[in-house]
Structure 1
Amino acid sequence: MLLQPKKIKFKKIQKGTYKKKEFAVTTLKFGKFGIKSMEYGYVTASQIESTRIAINRIIKRSGKIWLRIFPNKPITKKPAEVRMGKGKGSVDHWVSSIGAGRIIFEIGGIKPNLAKSALTYACSKLPIKTVLIGF
């Protein structure tokens, strides 16, 4: 099952603006190696899950993975061929707003060459430019 909040105060929220630059989660805290974003954007819950599965496929449960983002923003969409008006559409999917410089994934407990191959493969699953850190 994809990640989404259990309970939120409001079911639908306004779009808001992107965080251009990240100031809070910019250094490694739990693992030795990680993926860091180089640009801002949205990462959906399905992209996060496919990235996590890609890392697990290579490290084969030998290390530990820390997910440093969570999809807590609902994105709504109206069905196809529906006339304008009649309110906002229903929640379609959940996204995480990523600022430039944010740590997305961290891994630890594995060898550096295995970590590099796993994170390189995982970066191809994300829609934003990323860089590997800790090597």
Structure 2
Amino acid sequence: MFSKITILKPQRLLTIQSNGIKNFKAPPNFDHIQFPERAKLKFIEKVPQLPPAIKAPKMQKKLRLMRGPEDVHNFLLHKQYGIMALGGGRLKWGHYEMMRLTIGRNMDTNRMFALWRIDSPWQPVTKQGQGQRMGGGKGAIDHYCTPIRAGRIILEVGGKCEFKEVKDFLDDVAAKLPFKAMAISQEILDKMKEKEKWEEENNQNKYTMKYIIQNNLGGCYRWLSPTDMKYFCKYV
């Protein structure tokens, strides 16, 4: 018995060898990243610390602290990744713990870091006791919260990592917040601002919400609130 041996031509052999060649992109360079002193999110106090001689003050609801856009903390300090609020709301202490524990478990502290971009709970929320009659004055302080406006950066995550490495657990955290939020990167934030600017400059419909409200079309002054007239129904 003789086995059949096939001899490949040089041209065919070269073609087979070149089929396995891959062209990979160079990995990103993270030499410019500066790490903070603390890599993980620090523990947040449940109740603000007051001097011993001062009684904890009560406060009104002040819903204006949650309405409208955020004008100050609406950018990323480290130009990497984070979570941005898409609407207004209040954060309780339990939400702080959820974010701290979830990110602490999923983050690689050897090459990543996370930091808060919001204050600890400071606004008191009062509540009447169970089964009490109406009246009797303002109730006792039940818990503390932090008001958040649309566009506020809740926290930042950075380090020697790419966005796809942190996107999954940032999306998980954003879905558990009491208001709409999303995981963002610096590129996503820049594209959102460019898209908003482009839509405003290239809008062909002159009957925008701003034009309708300023000219009182249809007598809209009768049913619009002062907040709608200030932000032109953009922020609910």
Same fold (TM over 0.5): yes
Q: Residues of 1 paired with 2:91 and 2:146: CA distance? A: 5
Structure 1 unmatched ranges of 5 or more? none
Q: Residues of 2 paired with 1:85 and 1:93: CA distance? A: 20
Q: Is 1:65 equivalent to 2:114 in the alignment?
A: yes
Larger radius of gyration: 2
1:85: Cα distance to partner? Answer: 1.7
Of structures 1 and 2, the one with the larger relative CO (CA 8 A, separation 6+) is 1
Q: Is 1:42 equivalent to 2:42 in the alignment?
A: no
1:129 matched residue in structure 2: 180
1:60: Cα distance to partner? Answer: 4.5
Are 2:175 and 2:181, in contact at CA under 8 Å, matched by a contact in 1? no
1:30: Cα distance to partner? Answer: 3.7
Identity %: 32
Deviates more, 1:24-33 or 1:73-82: 24-33
Q: Secondary structure at the match of 2:142?
A: strand
Equivalences for 1:3-42 in 2 at 5 Å?
3-7=46-50, 11-17=57-63, 18-30=66-78, 32-42=80-90
Q: Residues of 1 paired with 2:139 and 2:171: CA distance? A: 37
Provide closer, same or farther for how the CA distance between residues 59 and 110 of structure 1 changes in structure 2, counting only shifts above 3 A.
farther
Q: Residues of 2 paired with 1:104 and 1:7: CA distance? A: 25
Q: Residues of 2 paired with 1:86 and 1:109: CA distance? A: 54
- Give 1 or 2: higher helix fraction: 2
Q: Residues of 2 paired with 1:30 and 1:3: CA distance? A: 27
Q: Secondary structure at the match of 1:111?
A: coil
How many matched pairs? 135
Q: Residues of 2 paired with 1:105 and 1:34: CA distance? A: 5
Provide closer, same or farther for how the CA distance between residues 44 and 31 of structure 1 changes in structure 2, counting only shifts above 3 A.
farther
Identify the match of residue 88 of structure 1 among 121, 128, 138.
Answer: 138
Shift >4 Å, 4+ stretches? none
Structure 2 unmatched ranges of 5 or more? 1-43, 188-236
- Give 1 or 2: higher strand fraction: 1
Deviates more, 1:97-106 or 1:1-10: 1-10
Q: What is the Cα-based RMSD across aligned positions, in Å?
A: 2.0
Provide closer, same or farther for how the CA distance between residues 92 and 23 of structure 1 changes in structure 2, counting only shifts above 3 A.
same
Deviates more, 1:94-103 or 1:117-126: 117-126
1:61: Cα distance to partner? Answer: 3.3
Q: Residues of 2 paired with 1:74 and 1:110: CA distance? A: 39
Are 1:67 and 1:104, in contact at CA under 8 Å, matched by a contact in 2? yes
Deviates more, 1:32-41 or 1:115-124: 115-124
